[in-house]
A and B are shown apart, each in its own frame.
Chain A
Amino acid sequence: MILSNILLQIGQVLCVLLLAPLLQGFILKAEERVQRSRGPSILQPYRDLWKFFHKQSVVPESASWIYFIAPFVSFTAMLMVPLLIPVLTDRPLPLSNMGDLLGGGMVLTLGSFAIILAGLDTGNAYGGIGSSRTAMLAILAEPTLILVFVGISFLAKSMLPFVVNHLLLGSASAYWSPAHLFLILAFFALLLVETDRLPIHSSTHFEIYMIDEARILEYSGPLFALLKWASMMKQFILYTIFCNVFLLPWGMSQLGTPFGQLGSIASLLLKFLLIALTVVVVETVQSRLRFYRYQEPLAAAFLFAVLAIVSSQLL
């Protein structure tokens, strides 16, 4: 029996929606284990979300309508992106050519833009700091992101994630070409920046160097839960793009049978285990950079993207 495309597309969204807190919980647990403490349970993010959804929401007096719609905009944006990328199956789904990688990137950035506005909206000093820091990081990360996409389109002659996945599955020489390896390095640096990890983001939130947390300091209750969930989903989506499009294009269901979908979920979890452990190693060995050295890892990522483009011209 082969599931219909519409069911598969809904399944992709549900997979991202339901498994995103698990990934966050696993990373937090693994980091604590590396430091020889016990750490919270892997399921703790689910419990946190449950708790926040049952709390009362306290709204600042200075808040306008932007404050109320920002969580919904960012949450909806994260629900849209899984339609465009290969999460469970690498068969091109009907809605998947609605937008390419640039389109997906735009929707992701829209979510983060809404939160920046919300941070500025209430007039809280910390919200302003968080928004301006996030905007600066976005300015620094954007050129690299664009160059990575340009590199991909040189490699695969297309920006659709499904096409890139099929190219890498099909030819080992494309997979091992220097252009692709440089793209992986550049995207990994971007992944660390975009998912609130060291060396730029601090590992404990709620302190003076906070970046992303500062924007949502004014939120509480269900709205806060939506924002937290959206940021976990963003992390899950970026990991999915990194695994299924760049690093490990194997192990996805091709036909779309229910059994194949279960296999895809298992292989996705296995891939995320690898990436999450790498991220944990980076977080353990790195210390946080000073504010004025934020551009260094991003400059390195930019360099890798440029090298990828140069070497894609060579071969």
Chain B
Amino acid sequence: MSLTHLNSLQASIFSSLAIVSLLLTFVMLGSHWLRNYVYAFAVQSWLIAALSAAVGYFSGYPELYVIAALTALFRGLVLPYLLMRIVDRLHVKREIHAVLQPSSGLVVGAFLVMFAFVIANHMTRQTTSAAHVVVLALTIMLSMKFIGFLMLSVRDEAVSQILGLLVLENGIFLGSQILVPGMPLLIEIVILFDLLIVVACFGILVRYLVVHAGTTSSRQLNRLVG
């Protein structure tokens, strides 16, 4: 694995990109506004694209440049554009009935990061400087997954649920870029198109929801009808 010979400059570039992506996840967790979620997701995707390019440059995987370009194009432009279209058409600007207020969400998120760190620390037992980057990547990957799950479970609006799924996926992608940079190109492309289809399907489902239930909040679906 390429991680065994990282110098301190590379380690600091990787870790700062990963940490800023984690902060953007917290922007999503701590905001009321759907528009902010989409912006944060777009910026996060660009950061992950930069991370792929940096990994490709420093450890000599030219195919990672292609992946970086595809990530920036699809996750950074196409998906946010599609989501923004959904948000604009629904006339829903913010989460109204949050189960977890943004401030409590931030505190729960902080505890999830600690939990992720404990797990990551147990998984790696080396003490070289590369091991720090591994622990950091694992921590951030796990915490983004946990926060994605948290968003899926406490948010009601359909758009925030899509974004929870996308954050979860971004976390896995970020971790895989640092931990196993030589993943085959084909798999990455398949995942990207998968995401595109997920968002398109969700768009159709949300419109169906509006037509038949008259709302975009999944809370209304819990009620028994008929």
A interface residue numbers (CB < 8 A to B): 176, 178, 293, 295-296, 298-300, 302-303, 306-307, 310-311, 313-315
Contact = CB atoms under 8 A, between A and B. Distances in A.
A278 B88 CA distance: 34
B19 A315 contact: no
Given A178-B19, A299-B30, A314 B106 contact: no
A221 B20 CA distance: 51
A3 to B, nearest CB: 41
B16 A300 contact: no
Given A295-B103, A307-B113, 15 more contacts: A178-B19, A296-B103, A296-B106, A299-B104, A299-B107, A303-B26, A303-B109, A306-B111, A307-B19, A310-B113, A310-B114, A311-B19, A311-B136, A314-B117, A314-B136
A310 B103 contact: no
A299 B103 contact: yes
B132 A302 contact: no
Contact-residue size bin, chain B (C-beta under 8 Å from the other chain)? 20 to 34
B123 interface: no
Contacts, number: 55
Contact of B110 (A178, A293, A295, A303): A303
B104 A178 contact: no
Given A295-B103, A296-B102, A299-B104, A310 B30 contact: no
A306 B22 CA distance: 13
Nearest to B103: A299
Interface of B: 12, 15-16, 19, 22-23, 26, 30, 102-104, 106-107, 109-111, 113-114, 117, 121, 132, 135-136, 139
B110 A307 contact: yes
20 contacts: A178-B16, A178-B19, A295-B103, A296-B106, A299-B102, A299-B106, A300-B106, A302-B106, A302-B107, A303-B26, A303-B106, A303-B109, A306-B110, A307-B23, A310-B113, A311-B19, A311-B136, A314-B15, A314-B136, A314-B139
Given A299-B106, A306-B113, A314 B26 contact: no
Main secondary structure of the interface of A (DSSP, over half): helix
Nearest to B12: A176
B26 A310 contact: no
A207 B220 CA distance: 42
A302 B135 contact: no
Nearest to A310: B117
A296 B110 contact: no
Contacts of A311: 19, 136
A313 to B, nearest CB: 7
A303 B136 contact: no
Contacts of A300: 26, 30, 103, 106
A150 to B, nearest CB: 13
Contacts of B117: 310, 313-314
Interface centre among A295, A313, A314 (most CB of B within 10 A): A314
